[in-house]
A and B are shown apart, each in its own frame.
Chain A
């Protein structure tokens, strides 16, 4: 009996290589990469669409005049371009809204991550999400028709000086308050994320040593999550800088350099929105002003966002 011999098929060698080149697969990967790189293209698009008209703008208006203290009135027959006045308006609105949003957001975050039980959290989380999801135009209506009139009717007119003057229909405080409430969920969600990232062992060690809940929250959790909390504050501020509808509807249209709660103000975003709503002639200096202000707005938020991104990365690096 002949021993059976195993013959290896010569035409099909055993190999882990693909039996045929998969060109389709490469095309798909190329498409996927293209889709992902669209994010970069959009950023480039933003920069390009802002820079070119801004250069046109500075051909007619010198840089020194843009950053001078002259009043802001680019749409007047005799235009003036002191951008400080609307940057100041933005800063005023940021100040008022952050007085509400930062403490309330941080408090909400501590409550959500350290105090609320799972059932409570299940109720509060969607509520905060809904608060975040209400359209800004609805907040605008709320500020203009509800918050404004209520504050105006109950204004403490017995206060001395400027503070006692009754405001008009649109003023800083009404817009600032509503904007502050609007930003609470942004601050709260980023801050509570960073608190949840603090390891359980740290909490348990503190409780084991006899700390109270308040001590754990203020002396262990908040310091450990500090970079995340700072990031949440920075993101909240960035939202206040970039928010348009509430300030457009409820803060007024006067480019005032003021911090009085009863004064109307104009912010950078409100100027862009207001000018775009009216008839702007393509190519005129008023058209280019929108882009110059937009560039400034983009630069400010870009700086603020980069700070926030760096901070968020830091808290991730520590605990993940």
Chain B
């Protein structure tokens, strides 16, 4: 730098002294206040979540023993009462829901992403319907289940499979929407390459597109199932209401109960023992859901890193 001429040095110094300082002077009080308000509003949700989790653990934790999972509900021996029928009932209901939503949801997603011509009016009708169904109150699906599945055309009666179908209709949009997103994420070049090699459209979809969308479909299915497993209101209408002291005969016959419905029934009783039981049931349900959600989040993180 020794060769720098005098004129350059003067110019540099002049530039330095006249540069506007880009860092702020003083503290932006209004801005900091705004940031604090924003932080508070997000913390409200987070703190409430923490309070709810602690509450459920403290209230229901003491009753979290083996009896809870192996015993029938009992009004006499409340300290050994369990909710085995509800666990079995929920298993039946969820199995039926899973077997219904995966084939139908994935097929619908394939149609809408790979085959549907968006300019056709009937495809637009399907789109709008899907968006609307996703926001219909869950209890309305209960009414539909009561009128069409329990009674009416299907006439299944108050059995576990009626609950399965009702919940399936409710969570179908969730599966379709997430499956579509993951199908859309498959690069179009893969499709072009497959078609150029002489594969038919269906061969391309089945052998190239679908295998790559499996993680996304799986994530969507887990999220849909986790929504269905905690849903209470529609099940109240399609028969999971009776205080059952026995296991359901099968998915297609006999009265059934479900974990969230059992929790509700315990919670609305005035005795303290039942409220503790309800909280213990809630603890089990929340733990189950956290497990399902973490699997979904882990799957998504793993999948998004690969692509």
Contact = CB atoms under 8 A, between A and B. Distances in A.
A298 B140 contact: yes
Interface string B207-228: 0000000000000000100110
Given A32-B108, A135-B260, A142-B55, A249 B44 contact: no
A242 B49 contact: no
Given A115-B35, A276-B241, A290-B143, A269 B233 contact: yes
A136 B38 contact: no
Interface string A1-32: 00000000000000000100010110011011
A40 B130 CA distance: 8
B12 interface: no
A245 B142 contact: no
16 contacts: A22-B202, A32-B110, A32-B115, A35-B103, A37-B122, A49-B147, A112-B42, A128-B45, A131-B49, A134-B289, A137-B263, A138-B286, A140-B267, A141-B263, A146-B55, A276-B146
A173 B110 CA distance: 46
Nearest to B141: A46
A136 B136 contact: no
A111 B132 contact: no
A43 to B, nearest CB: 5
A301 interface: yes
Contacts, number: 269
Interface of A: 18, 22, 24-25, 28-29, 31-40, 42-43, 45-46, 48-50, 52-53, 100, 103-108, 110-112, 115, 124, 126-131, 133-142, 144-146, 181, 184-185, 188, 212-214, 217-218, 235, 238-239, 241-245, 248-249, 269, 272-273, 276-277, 282, 290-291, 294, 297-298, 301-302, 305-306, 308-309
A301 B264 contact: no
Given A188-B42, A214-B30, 15 more contacts: A42-B129, A48-B148, A49-B147, A49-B152, A100-B44, A126-B297, A135-B289, A137-B264, A137-B267, A244-B233, A273-B139, A291-B147, A305-B136, A306-B132, A309-B128
B-side interface size class: 35 or more
B48 A181 contact: yes
Nearest to A276: B237
B49 A134 contact: yes
Interface string B29-40: 011001101111
B94 to A, nearest CB: 13
A18 B200 contact: yes
A188 B151 CA distance: 39
Nearest to A28: B202
Contacts of A34: 107
B45 A243 contact: no
A181 B136 CA distance: 20
A309 B127 CA distance: 11
Contacts of A235: 135
B244 interface: no
B200 to A, nearest CB: 6
Contact of B52 (A107, A134, A302): A134
